[in-house]
Structure 1
């Protein structure tokens, strides 16, 4: 069984985003970029399934600029077998991404597609669900456990009330949550091996997908600075201030 794992190149989660002076977007010049953390969890889960003998091949795929090759090489160093870069300098929206991934899934015929539940740059949380709709495959979102049994997969997913386990017929779409696993660090030998692993470069046009944006960004601005708190002398003063604000028990 093949496993397809989409990965995205995003601003590193340790970097504080800065908005461009003209308000047109986030400044990405000379800042550290890395693999989306939820996608990293997806790569790790796919590799673990391969190590268990469940999967035969792990294919990492990314849609983005030429520099996204670095992100794919990271996935290859972790243990993915080969990679596909769909190169574009456009900011690709979730529906276009889902269409590209569907075309790749049609060509590769994977048994599982494991995606991060969302990317930390736009937080859309849409691509996995849209891909499931386009393919007609079952979906298990926000997965905290994935167990493949024959021609089905049991996905334990996090819901408001606790945990829910769903049984999906393969092929299926799974999106990862933080508690699914702890991604491994790539060893130096594997980093060197990753340089010689296959990495194909395609374009959205190769898959017949139009990536022109449907949403126009009018302005990007930083959130207002939070005002300082107020210290109170005792409980009575606190209650009085809450009442003045209209807060009732």
Structure 2
């Protein structure tokens, strides 16, 4: 059982929905990023999605793209991202960390080396947005063998024919993208999300978490109520981009977590 599996079991026992937060590793710099990440569990975050900066983030909107650029300009690398996770684990051995990014940096490091290093750093799961199920032998299956969950995205365009393929080697949870397009583009609507979540849950026992387009505590509550939990990324990253100190960023995160947990 991974930390992700354990967290969902704990939340089910409490009758609570999951709140997942995304932040870009190294944004705006290593020290500030580490301070924010260390504060996330205390702000009510159940699972941390840690963005891996990349030069060509094709699935991300302007907010996340800019965060990745700031991190890269501040010298963030894959190794430093793993270092950040290692540092976090010195004081928190229970909050799951999902590394979210693109395959190129992982491929350049070498899959086996990366998986060994990620496991040692306390990474629990991976979301690699540019590796489709047809490429499962590349990373997904080796990651599962190494004890890491491989989390797949489903979208409004994932039809009933495609869905089984998306789900076949997925573990940890399914990340349902509430809107078509890039991150941070539009607001998620619970009325649109609920039937899609039900459709996915009819095909899998995994929790379904909904992200993209969640910016306020009210939306977090509504979306979490239609699923097993919700993810917020761009809205949090925007706070960091605005130069808010970590304490203010974390207060905003807590408002979102409280919304999700009240669903």
Larger radius of gyration: 1
TM-score (ref. length: structure 1)? 0.29
- Structure with greater helix share of residues: 2
- Structure with greater strand share of residues: 1
